[in-house]
Structure 1
Amino acid sequence: MATQSVRRNAGKGASPQRSAAARAAAKRVARAHPTEPSAPQPAAVPDAGAITPTTPDISADADADVDAQDTGRRRALLCAVLAVLVVLGLASSITLGSQYRDAERTRQARTAALAAARTAAPAILSYDYRRLHKDFAAARGHLTGPFVARYRKTTTTVVAPTAEKYKGVVKATVAAPPRGGTPAASVISESPDKVVVLLFMNQVTNSTQVSTPRLDLNRVRMTMVPADGTWKVSAVDAL
């Protein structure tokens, strides 16, 4: 208010000195009575549209759950595959083991049956009229099964009477190379329980029916089967 009075007085023609003094006085009054502070303005309210709501990151949790589920599925699938592989491996091992055992049994059967056939053939196909009973008994020791009865019947009703009548002597051997070597016998078929052997036989016959020994070259097929801890003849066929 004092400042306005001074200014009105100055406008009515006051001298420059008074005007300067008035201005100085006004400044002193202004400093002594500072302007009253303006009323506080209400705080600005931010625009609701500009506020970004804060929400929990649900997508990250969902992704984590999906990843965990995928990991669980992969582990389950891997375990299932490994289980199948283990089962297949065991099955293969069992199969291979069984095949190996069968192959080994067959190999052993082949070797044993072939050796038994080479021993049995000369005994079965040889006889001497002077000791028929002994020769036939020795031959039956190499036989097994129903073939024993058939051999007994044939030797009793056919071979023995003819041999005694003509004083027959037959010496049979498995053919071998002239300069020596493995006898001519080979395996036709084989299994752990049966082996069929083909043998080439030389039979030298002496009797009152021939003036000189007669040599017959024969082929004989013998079926060998395991019996009494060894291999014996279950059938003989002349070829």
Structure 2
Amino acid sequence: MEGKDDGCISPQEGGTTRKPRRVGPDAKAKAGCTSATTDAAAQPGPDPTRDPVSDSPETCGGDHGGNTIGRAPGAAEPSSQETELEVDHDDLDPGIQACAAAGDGPDPALEPGHDVTPQRRARSRTKDAAALAAAAVLAGTAALGWLWKEQRDNEIAGRQALSAALRFTENLTTIDSANIDENFRETIDGSTGEFKEMYLKSSAALQQALRENKASAHGVVVESAIKSTSPDTVVVVLFVDQSVSNARAPEPRLDRSRVEVTMKKVDGRWLAAKVELP
């Protein structure tokens, strides 16, 4: 049986090998053959009743300023080597123009001064707040440390000044006519400033009166307290019991007095700068 020559290319017909023949597209179309080369020709032509612009899809974005305009039916696919189509936006549909305006506008994220990372700014504010809090804690700790040191220094100064005031007051209120020079020397050595100057001026006359009357006295501090304190000045209040006797009254007489002594720190020593007997 002989194969039918229908214009299509077939490697074998009726068991015999036939040489393929090149046929034109018209012949293939008539014979019902299909080929990839005839796909474009087989597409239907454009519909003259349709508006290629109004029927084209409208999309925002894309590679052409944010607008993609659909091709008319039957138009061939543009090749990658073809240049981009320049579109006059004034002739476009208002909807397409709106898309174009939205796509062509500048990206606010790229404008100068635009903060593209608000989270980073928030983190920066958090770090600043943490740094301020840490600085406040350090400042508070330093202030507390300074106050603690000042209080400790005042306590030490108070104890030292009180001890020196006790010795000075007992020396001042104790007099032995047989050892007047030694008593006055100890009192002068434990004093400074205003009181020392006054005591030195009156010491000669006082010694003479004590010798003539054969007077003697013995003082004992029974109570004491710190009235005020600072690193270099402490005011001490003392209550003294003093027994006094002389040639006219040989029996000792007990006198109780209140003494307020202002102590000053001079060259590391606490000395009596002022003595008051209210």
* Counterpart code for 1:231: W
Alignment equivalent of 2:221, drawn from 164, 174, 186 = 174
Per-residue CA distance 1:71-118 (angstroms, 9 max, x = gap): 232122223222322332232222112111100001111111111111
Match of residue 53 from structure 2:
48
Deviation, structure 1 residue 64: 10
Per-residue CA distance 1:29-86 (angstroms, 9 max, x = gap): xxxxxx999x973045785345122405979x75799774312321222232223223
* Counterpart code for 1:51: P
Which ranges in structure 1 are unaligned for 5 or more consecutive residues? 1-34, 176-183
Query: Matches of 1:40 and 1:152 in 2, distance apart?
Result: 135
Query: Matches of 2:52 and 2:245 in 1, distance apart?
Result: 136
1:1-239 matches, cutoff 5 A: 41-43=44-46, 48-49=53-54, 51-55=57-61, 68-157=116-205, 159-175=206-222, 184-239=223-278
Higher relative helix content: 1
Q: Which entry has the higher C-alpha Rg, 1 or 2?
A: 1
* Counterpart code for 1:84: L
Query: Matches of 1:40 and 1:113 in 2, distance apart?
Result: 117
Query: Matches of 1:200 and 1:155 in 2, distance apart?
Result: 24
Deviation, structure 1 residue 221: 0.4
Instruction: Find the residue that maps to 1:41 and give its secondary structure.
Output: coil
State the superposition RMSD in angstroms: 3.0
* Counterpart code for 1:147: F
Per-residue CA distance 1:157-178 (angstroms, 9 max, x = gap): 3x21220110111111112xxx
Identity of aligned residues (%): 24
Q: Given the two structures, how large is their TM-score scaled by the length of structure 1?
A: 0.71
Contact 2:191 2:272 in 1 (8 A): yes
Change (3 A) 1:41 1:229: closer
Deviation, structure 1 residue 229: 2.1
Which ranges in structure 2 are unaligned for 5 or more consecutive residues? 1-29, 33-41, 67-102
Q: How many residue pairs get matched?
A: 195
Instruction: Find the residue that maps to 1:192 and give its secondary structure.
Output: coil
